[in-house]
Amino acid sequence: MNKFKTIEWKEDHVLMLDQRKLPTEETYIECKTSAHVAKAIKQMVIRGAPAIGVAAAMGIALGAKKIKTKNKKIFFEKLENICNELSKTRPTAVNLFWAVKRMNNLAQSLKDLEIEQIVSNLISEARLIYEQDIQICKNIGKMGANLIKKGNNVLTHCNAGALATAGYGTALGVLRAATEQGKNIHVYSTETRPFFQGSRLTAWELKKDNIPVTIITDSMAGHVMSTKHIDAVIVGADRIAANGDVANKIGTFSLSVLAKHHKIPFYVAAPLSTIDMNCPSGDKIPIEQRDPKEISTIKGKRIAADTDIYNPAFDITPGRNIDSIITERGVLKPPYKTTISKIMKN
């Protein structure tokens, strides 16, 4: 289905589609070191919670491969530094920490093997995380497609598509699956200020798949919900607390309030790796603050008055505003504290 690759393991480097350049330029960058992968995540060459997790796993595998030592103590010290550097790139998407932990746990469990074997296992694991992510998104798609009816108008925010995952997508995975079932849906994609993930990325990948899409600015959402027939709102997630509160792209919370006002179902689609059982509620989720320049400039040119600027990258949508959380193993309904705890135990 996807006519592009978001990220790819290439043995001596990690290849990434440079999402900062889309939709006007389709260029790929080669990350040759783990530090380069970390920089790419921080600068949003690659973004979206599951894609960040895959990139971190590949970054660790690449970094481990490039460690030049025969001394195991030094190898593990360097590996720890690599994991720490990747963990510091972005704070909100829990998939990053989930992937680092999975890779690190594997390395620790193989401590008695030769360094070469540990490295080869880490590479296989990173590739597995990539493959599994695609399968998980397809399963999310299948689960969620049942909520979408023929001819539905669906509004989405930010980009929770193939570009935000190893491929296929979470929220857009649901819309892809509905399209594959012949449901002829139409998508409204919010622009998603300030990084324009909606107008640059979501609209770009939906167009490539011939899924009809209309771009609106973020401030049009209320008007569109009250004047166009919107059947559902569907978004992804960067971290889901144990009580069902969801951290996602800034603006998601406002959309959930508008959806509630208009009695439009509000869905979140995410893999189970996005659920953080160590976070009891949304107020415990760290919110990334980004460079004010993302708001004050466009392509290096100043567009805003020279004042103080506030740029939180995410907000928290309370679980009570969410009708369903679509995961690869099922569609969760409130009370989320109970349904999440049950699915995480299985």
Yes or no: say if 218 and 251 are a contact pair by the CB < 8 Å rule: yes
Among 165, 179, 189, 339, binds ligand MRU (CB under 6 A): 165
Position of minimal CB gap to ligand MRU: 236
- Closer of 138 and 249 to ligand MRU (Cβ): 249
Spot the catalytic one: 18, 209, 218, 238. Answer: 238
Q: Which residues contact 283 (CB under 8 A, 6 or more apart)?
A: 245, 316
**Least distance to ligand MRU from the beta carbon of 279, Å?**
16
* Binding status of residue 49 toward ligand MRU by CB under 6 A: yes
* Binding status of residue 47 toward ligand MRU by CB under 6 A: yes
**Least distance to ligand MRU from the beta carbon of 305, Å?**
25
Site of tokens 């030049």: 68
* Binding status of residue 190 toward ligand MRU by CB under 6 A: no
* Binding status of residue 170 toward ligand MRU by CB under 6 A: yes
Contacting range for ligand MRU; rule: CB under 6 A; set: 116-124, 145-153, 162-170, 336-344:
162-170
Yes or no: say if 205 and 163 are a contact pair by the CB < 8 Å rule: yes
**Least distance to ligand MRU from the beta carbon of 73, Å?**
36
Among 85, 238, 245, 328, binds ligand MRU (CB under 6 A): 238
306 is catalytic: no
Yes or no: say if 321 and 258 are a contact pair by the CB < 8 Å rule: no
* Binding status of residue 202 toward ligand MRU by CB under 6 A: no
* Binding status of residue 139 toward ligand MRU by CB under 6 A: no
Among 31, 38, 50, 86, binds ligand MRU (CB under 6 A): 50
* Binding status of residue 138 toward ligand MRU by CB under 6 A: no
Rounded Cα gap, residues 312 and 250, in angstroms: 7
Of 278-337, which residues contact ligand MRU (CB under 6 A)? 313
Give the total of residues touching ligand MRU (CB under 6 A).
18
Of 82-121, which residues contact ligand MRU (CB under 6 A)? 93
Question: Other CB atoms closer than 10 Å to residue 254's CB: what's the count?
Answer: 16
For residue 59, the number of C-alpha atoms closer than 13 Å in the C-beta half-sphere is 31
Among 14, 40, 41, 48, binds ligand MRU (CB under 6 A): 48
Rounded Cα gap, residues 178 and 147, in angstroms: 9
- Closer of 92 and 104 to ligand MRU (Cβ): 92
Per-residue DSSP letters for 97-148? HHHHHHHHHHHHHTTTS-HHHHHHHHHHHHHHHHHHHHHHHHHHHHHHHTT-
Among residues 46, 37, 58, which one has the least CA distance to residue 19? 46
Among residues 178, 343, 151, 159, which one has the least CA distance to residue 235? 159
* Largest distance between two CA atoms of the chain: 67
* Binding status of residue 273 toward ligand MRU by CB under 6 A: no
Rounded Cα gap, residues 195 and 41, in angstroms: 14
* Residue positions annotated with a catalytic role: 238
Q: Which residues bind ligand MRU (CB under 6 A)?
A: 47-50, 93, 158, 160, 164-165, 170, 197, 235-238, 248-249, 313
